[in-house]
Structures are given as C-alpha cells and as structure tokens.
Amino acid sequence: MPKQLYDPGKGKMRIVGMVSGSGKGVIAIIDRQKEIRAASADNFEVVGIFTDNPNSRASSIAKDFGLPLLVNDIRQFYQERGRPISDLGVREAYDRETVRLLEPLEPDILVFAGYVWVATYVLVDAFQIVNAHPADLAVMQGGNRAYAGADGIGAALLAGERQLHSSVHLVTTEVDGGPILLISKPVPVEEDPNLDSRERWRKYLNLVNQQQRRLLPLALEKLAGGDFASDETGTIYYQGKAIPHGLRLETEAI
C-alpha cells in the first residue's frame, strides 16, 4: 500500500531552503507560498534558510522575508580540519553539525535550491530532501542516469538532445539518483548558428533554470497536498497512479 510522502493531516508542510548561491529557487518557493496563501489554499511554509556559504544571498533573503538564517561555512569547516573538500568523512561530520542546526526548526522537508548536491547518509537519514536538477533525469545510458551530475545541460547538449527538461526528485546519497517526482515541459533546442558553445550553454542553462524555478514550487505544493506517495519498493505514485520514471508534464500545470 503506497504511503504518502507527506501527510497533509499534519498541517502545513514545513520547509527549510538550502542555499549556496543566488537563492532564486527559494525566492520562487516563497513567492508561490504567498500566491496560494492569498487564495486561502496554502499547504506549505518556508520556515528557515540554511547556507553553507556566508557569501551567498541567503542572509539577504532571510532578512527580506523575516526568516531564521542558519549558517555552517563548509570551506571553513574543511580548512579547520586540514582536509580537501572532497573528503566524505569530513562531509559526514559537516552534515552531522548541519542536522544539529536544522533540528530546532522541525522541518518536514529540506529543499536543495541551488545547494551543493553532495549529501551523506547523515543528512539523508535525518530529513526528507527534495532537489531540482537542470536536466531530464529519466534519460538512461548504460544503466545510469545520463544527465546526472554537475553539468546536466552540457551533457544533454553534447548528446544532441532536441529538447531539454528540468527534474524534481527525492535526494539520496547517490548524486541526482533519488526517485523522480516531476519532469518539466520541454525547452526546444534550436540550431543557434550565431552562438559559440559557451554562449549556447549559458542560453539553455538560463532557460532551464527559469523553468526549474517554476517546477520546484509546483512539486512542493503537490507534495504538501499529499498527492505523492511511495510503496515498499520505492516506486513513486501521483494521486494513486505509479510514476516509476516521474510525472512528465506537457504544460506548467498538473
């Protein structure tokens, strides 16, 4: 029997936005929260902002929206231990400290909105986490997700894809490897004869990121409404229908 990923009977779903850079994804979520609140249908609430980067926009976003700000400087954390940022043992310690900081906010969901995409079992076991990725994670190659990782757009363009998508998925310790919730409507890829490869990459990254900032709030709204569920095999359901490869949208609505 599938179990709801979030039970709306608990009340409004509590979200903490995890930010490393511009925080535009979190702003999009807060803006959507305001819209549905105005319609007397709000079912989620951003209750805090976390950042691993003191130079990000997280502090100004938290101030602008009157939200608690939690900071755990990841570079300083590694420097104090004399280890490279790739050391996952130190990352586990970092995530343990991050969990301690987050717990008082009692979040139901963490949202990686431009947050660094590596998460150890410490963070994944402590909270349910949602991530937005700028590529179609349902595309497989050699048994793996072809466009997972740091440059999904670049990989998709290099492969000659004629359409690009963004994906919202649950986070596991495997990079971009968790179950897919939503896949956006397509962004058509044009020939772009007047753009060099870098300009072309920037163009489509911008377009897909814009799309992603619409998709993520939609996924959270539906998650908070109890529309997504999972069974004992990890298969995701939307409104009772199995979506093992995510729900693929043709418009910006469900």
Tens-place pLDDT, residues 5-36: 999 999 999 999 999 999 999 999 999 999 99
pLDDT classification of 40: cutoffs 50, 70, 90: confident
Nearest-angstrom CA–CA distance, 73 and 93: 13
Quote the pLDDT of residue 41. 84
Quote the pLDDT of residue 112. 95
Quote the pLDDT of residue 254. 73
- pLDDT averaged over every residue in the chain: 95
Q: Tokens 């039970």 sit at which residue?
A: 7
Which residues are paired to 204 by β-bridges? none
Helix (H) or strand (E) holding 149: none
Tell which CATH architecture fits domain 8-248: 3-Layer(aba) Sandwich (3.40)
Domain ranges (residues) in the chain: 8-248
- DSSP letter for 84, please: -
Give residue-wise pLDDT tens across range 139-156: 999 999 999 999 999 999
